Amino acid sequence: MNSNTISNGILKSLGIILGALILLFFLYKIKAIIVYISIAAVISLIGRPIILFLRRKLKFSNTLAVILTMALLMGLFIGLVLLFIPLIVEQGHNLSLLNIDDLQTNVEGLYKEITTYFNISSADLEQSLKDSNLLGKIDYSVIPNFLNSIISGFGSFSIGLFSVLFISFFFLKDSKLFEDGIMTLIPDNKESRSKKSFTKIKDLLSRYFVGLVFQILILFVIYTVVLLIFRIENAIVIAFLCALLNLIPYVGPMVSAILMLTLSMTSNLGESFSDVILPKTLYVMIGFVVAQLVDNFFSQPVIFSKSVKSHPLEIFLVILIAGVLFGIIGLVVAIPAYTAIKVILKEFLSDNKIVKKLTKGL
């Protein structure tokens, strides 16, 4: 090996590294567009069963089926906006006008009632709280400021919404548009297998995302009924947020439990803790547990068995590993990514013993 060969190898390696860095920098700069395309791809997967039903059962043309599907999805979205935005705006307006001193006094009063009720208000604890001034250090103005910032962000959100809808329309109209774009990067000798894999992935992920929609809907209905029964303020908004958090596996339900517990208690500030706040909160949390049991023993098993076709322990380990490696984003994309990887492995490495075991149900 002469010096010219070594030099060429080093230059080639540096060129590859430089090209990879430029590509990563470019992807970072257009990350918003990548997010738009990803959301549009999910919407197209959710709308795909509707289009197939309209085309196969009702004999609609492809264009008419796409238009009706987009109209249905847009109607659902507009319905959610008309339902939730006024409530969020009203709540944000109320909190922006909220007397922060009164809020702090109510929270401190609630804390004292809790410690007194559970007999944990010892002299040492009271003295330590006075010394640390923990409750006094809480910046209660963060609450209205945070909600006001959300409301002000709806202006920039409209640009992203238009982009997602525009991309989604063409993904639905030409279901192979995204596939053809990926096929340009695949070698010709592997194109046939890649197309089979892509079709299988679309079918499985379409079932998965439709299943998630029904999962959220079931939780939303149960949460709403429970909160309305016990007259919790803004019950629909709280139920929707808590149901939506369940999209994040394992972590989402814990966060939604804390959110529902906190909002249930604070919605009755000023009332008697032992007679009103504690009983209502306990009943609401019992309803929350019932909803989670329905989700864990009915909704999720149906989704995993009918769509991704993986064992619950297998899914748990995949989500756990993805969460450790990539955080919250890893938790959300773990199952779709793992499903796609399994399909690809089965198509290209079907003779491998490990792959056979992993893809037995596909």
Q: Determine the pLDDT at residue 133.
A: 52
Q: Residue 313 — pLDDT band, cuts 50, 70, 90?
A: confident
Query: Rounded distance, CA 331 to CA 319, Å?
Result: 6
Answer yes or no: is 341 within a domain.
yes
163, part of any domain: no
- Phi-psi group of 74: left, alpha or beta (phi > 0 → left; psi -120 to 50 → alpha; rest → beta): alpha
Residue 213 identity (one-letter amino acid): V
Q: Once rounded to an integer, what is the mean pLDDT over residues 223-244?
A: 84
Q: What is the pLDDT of residue 112?
A: 66
Residue 39 lies in a domain: no
Whether residue 43 contacts residue 168, with contact meaning beta carbons closer than 8 Å, is answered with yes
pLDDT band at residue 108 under the 50/70/90 scheme = low
Please say whether the beta carbons of 320 and 249 come within 8 A: no
Return the pLDDT at 268.
66
- On the question of pLDDT at 44 being above 60, the answer is yes
- In the predicted model, what is the mean pLDDT of residues 168-195? 75
Which of residues 251 and 102 earns the better pLDDT score?
251
Q: Is residue 330 a part of any domain in this protein?
A: yes
**155 located within any domain:** no
Q: pLDDT class for 135, splitting at 50, 70, 90?
A: very low
Average pLDDT over residues 325-352: 79
Mean pLDDT of 313-325: 82
Residue predicted with more confidence, 292 or 180: 292
Closest CA to 342 of 299, 307, 313, 301: 307
pLDDT tier at 202, thresholds 50, 70, 90: confident
Q: How confident is the model at residue 33 (pLDDT cuts 50, 70, 90)?
A: confident
- Per-residue pLDDT for 61 more than 80? yes
Higher pLDDT residue, 331 or 129?
331
The single-letter DSSP state of residue 270 is: T
Does residue 321 belong to any structural domain of this protein? yes
Position 97 scores a pLDDT of: 46
pTM of this structure: 0.66
Q: Give the closest residue to 328 by CA, choosing from 255, 241, 238.
A: 255
pLDDT at 98 exceeding the cut of 50: no
In total, how many domains does the chain have? 1
Q: What is the mean pLDDT of the chain?
A: 75
pLDDT value of residue 238: 81
Instruction: Give the chain's largest Cα–Cα span.
Output: 88
Q: Is the pLDDT of residue 257 over 50?
A: yes
Structural domain of 196: 177-362
Residue 103 domain flag? no
pLDDT at 10: 78
Tokens coding 294? 């329905």
Q: Is residue 58 part of a domain?
A: no
Q: How confident is the model at residue 253 (pLDDT cuts 50, 70, 90)?
A: confident
Determine the 3-state secondary structure of 186 from DSSP.
coil
- Position 134 confidence tier, pLDDT thresholds 50, 70, 90: very low
Q: What is the pLDDT of residues 263-311, one digit of tens each?
A: 777 776 666 666 777 788 888 889 899 998 888 888 777 777 666 777 7
